[in-house]
Structure 1
Amino acid sequence: MDFVKVCPVTALPTEGAIEVKVEGRAVAVVRSGGRVYAIDDRCSHAEVSLAEGEVYDGTIECWLHGSCFDLRTGEPTNPPATRPVGTYQVRVEDGDVYVAPGGAQP
């Protein structure tokens, strides 16, 4: 599987997210609990950026209506969202974050 370099690890907040483009697709790269994750950057309920939401306990919260998504699986952990968001394989190497663009799994 090919990976694409998306940002240096230092660009990520200690507990938070940034939006990057991976082959034209908006992806939220998230650091939580010392781990790095990548998920689709659009809430499955309201189509707003998840990277603008709060990150805590391995989840990201949509800033608009409060739906939370598990960073490992993309599954919603509370309403109003009922559909998962896609997740991507991530690799951290030599201080940089790499995402597998073909790996989105809803």
Structure 2
Amino acid sequence: MNDQWIDVCAVDEIDEEDVIRFDHQQHTYAVYRSADSEFFATDGRCTHEAIHLADGLVMDHVIECPKHNGRFDYRTGKALGAPVCVNLKTYPVRVEAGRVLLGVNP
């Protein structure tokens, strides 16, 4: 895989157990920080009705969609039950020099 690394934000711009929205070109991503300060990224819209996940609730490695409460494991993208049944795409994330970087395929 030949990822292009894009600067998303400073590490301290995402609180623990929280998510932010990040738009790049015509795509929306959700970037998460776990309770143990690991970073993850998924597609930014719910697979059920394309609602922005960054407006949802994050707890215990799960993002809950704000519209119909569909839940995903943001580490793997796995859909965790109705009404969502399609997994989220996940993306690599790394931290360098206090910055969160997102890996996308150009």
TM-score between both structures, scaled by the size of structure 1: 0.90
Q: Which amino acid aligns with 1:50?
A: L
Q: What letter matches 2:30 in structure 1?
A: A
- Per the alignment, residue 36 of structure 1 pairs with 39
Structure 2 unpaired stretches of 5+: none
Among 72, 77, 80, the alignment partner of 2:83 is 80
Cross-structure match for 2:104: 101
Q: Among residues 70, 88, 91, which one is paired with 2:73 in the alignment?
A: 70
CA drift at 1:102: 1.5
Instruction: State how far apart, in whole Å, the 2-side matches of 1:24 and 1:7 are.
Output: 18
* Matching of residues 56-67 of structure 1 within 5 Å: 56-67=59-70
1:46-66 per-position Cα deviation (integer Å, ceiling 9, x unaligned):
110001101011110001111
Per the TM alignment, residue 91 of structure 1 is displaced from its structure 2 partner at its CA by: 0.4
What residue ranges of structure 1 are gaps of 5+ in the alignment?
none
Query: Does the Cα contact within 8 Å between 1:75 and 1:84 map onto a contact in 2?
Result: yes
Match of 1:54 in 2: 57
SS in 1 for 2:105: helix
Paired letter, 1:47? A
CA distance in structure 2 between the partners assigned to 1:32 and 1:101 by the alignment? 21
Residues 16-73 of structure 1: CA deviation (Å, up to 9, x unaligned): 1110113331101111122111111100001100011010111100011111111111
- Cα distance in 2 between the residues matched to 1:97 and 1:24: 20
Matched residues in 2 for 1:102 and 1:23: separation?
A: 12
Is 1:27 matched up with 2:37? no
Displaced runs of 4+ in structure 1, greater than 6 A? none
Q: What value does the CA root-mean-square deviation take over the aligned residues?
A: 1.3
Matches of 2:49 and 2:28, distance apart in 1:
15
